[in-house]
Amino acid sequence: TGELMKGKKGLIMGVANANSIAWGIASQLAAQGAELAFTYMGEGLERRVRPLAESVGAKLLIQADVTDDASMDAAFAALEAEFGTIDFVVHSVAFANKDELKGSFIDNTSRDSFLLAMNISCFSFVDVARRASKIMPNGGSMVTMTYLGSERAIPNYNTMGVAKAALEAATRYIARDLGPRGIRVNAISAGAMRTLSLAGISGGRGMIAQGRAMSAMKEDTSMEGVAGAALWLCSDLGFSTTGEVIHVDAGFHMMGLAGEDEG
Ligand code: NAD
């Protein structure tokens, strides 16, 4: 615990359960003194998310579907009513239909499912950035979550990889728009971790095992490491970093061939 986030208020989007990356980030921000509001998706999830939110003294817990303008309007109105202004937003939201997250990309990708994945996983960050920036008069920080499947063709990641590439590009354009207002906008490219979303990807467990085997550190990506990067970006330590994609993956992204050195 510490005081890196003392006096800062922000929104966490995308906690589904205690394994969610959004929750890993939220708990570290709270431990450093941040005041938090949460949005979650789906009535059924409230019973999982409420105890987590309450355990960090959340000021607001509201259901919001990023594809539904009315629910986003209501969520941001409630956020403004509670906090007035905010200092940071963590966007940890993505979705693609399960049938697309396997096998052949070209054969398994339909127009509707492609657009749904882009809507929830990319456009939502643009929409959130526009809404949040209106209540960030003192500058601040926005963080979204991405994966290496945006840069490399990774088995089964398919549509989501394309959506993540678009999300990373959107991060740069949002950073360009909001830079003059002192709002920094970055993406964390995390290595594979065991969450609900990963379970939707065919061979998700293999992504973790291979990521570990191919990483420089020969380790799994840790939630603490991902949350630590988010803490750096959301706190004043992150001054001067914007429009960046930061890999937190035990050095998986930069390795060439797998295998042992000889001699
Ligand atoms: P998760 O399932 O816990 O979180 C995904 C969240 O997205 C859930 O809370 C879900 O309710 C929310 N969501 C889906 N559709 C939504 C909608 N229409 N409106 C609002 N919210 C919606 O899984 P996670 O792994 O913590 O995923 C969080 C982010 O991290 C995602 O962007 C994911 O792509 C990214 N990521 C995950 C990994 C990994 O290995 N788990 C690696 C890199 C990046």
Cβ–ligand 1 distance for 197 under 6 Å, the answer yes
**Cβ–Cβ under 8 Å, residues 66 and 14:** no
**How many angstroms does the Cα of residue 247 sit away from the middle of ligand 1?**
17
Closest atom, ligand 1, to C-alpha of 22: 26
Task: Give residue 192's pLDDT.
Answer: 97
In this structure, the residue with its CA closest to atom 23 of ligand 1 is 197
* Domain locations in the chain as residue ranges: 9-248
Per-10-residue mean pLDDT for the chain, 263 residues long?
Answer: 96 97 98 98 90 97 97 98 98 96 96 98 98 98 98 96 99 98 98 94 91 95 98 97 98 88 76
Angle at which helix 158-178 crosses helix 124-133, to 10 degrees, equals: 20
Residue to mutate, 195, 222, 246, ligand 1, most ligand atoms under 8 Å from C-beta: 195
Annotate the chain with three-state secondary structure: CCCCCCCCEEEEECCCCCCCHHHHHHHHHHHCCCEEEEEECCHHHHHHHHHHHHHCCCCEEEECCCCCHHHHHHHHHHHHHHHCCCCEEEECCCCCCHHHCCCCHHHHCCHHHHHHHHHHHHHHHHHHHHHHHCCCCCCEEEEEEECHHHCCCCCCCHHHHHHHHHHHHHHHHHHHHHHHHCEEEEEEEECCCCCHHHHCCCCHHHHHHHHHHHCCCCCCCCHHHHHHHHHHHHCHHHCCCCCCEEEECCCCCCCCCCCCCCC
pTM of the model: 0.98
> Which residue among the candidates 38, 157, 232, 252 is catalytic per the annotation?
157
**How many angstroms does the Cα of residue 94 sit away from the middle of ligand 1?**
5
Cβ–ligand 1 distance for 158 under 6 Å, the answer no
Task: Give residue 105's pLDDT.
Answer: 97
Task: Give residue 253's pLDDT.
Answer: 97
Q: Is there a catalytic annotation at residue 157?
A: yes
Task: Give residue 43's pLDDT.
Answer: 80
- Classify domain 9-248 at the CATH topology level: Rossmann fold (3.40.50)
Task: Give residue 108's pLDDT.
Answer: 95
**Quick check: ipTM above 0.85?**
yes
**Cβ–Cβ under 8 Å, residues 135 and 86:** yes
Q: Is there a catalytic annotation at residue 173?
A: no
Classify residue 70 by burial, with Cβ atoms within 10 Å: 0-12, 13-18, 19+: exposed
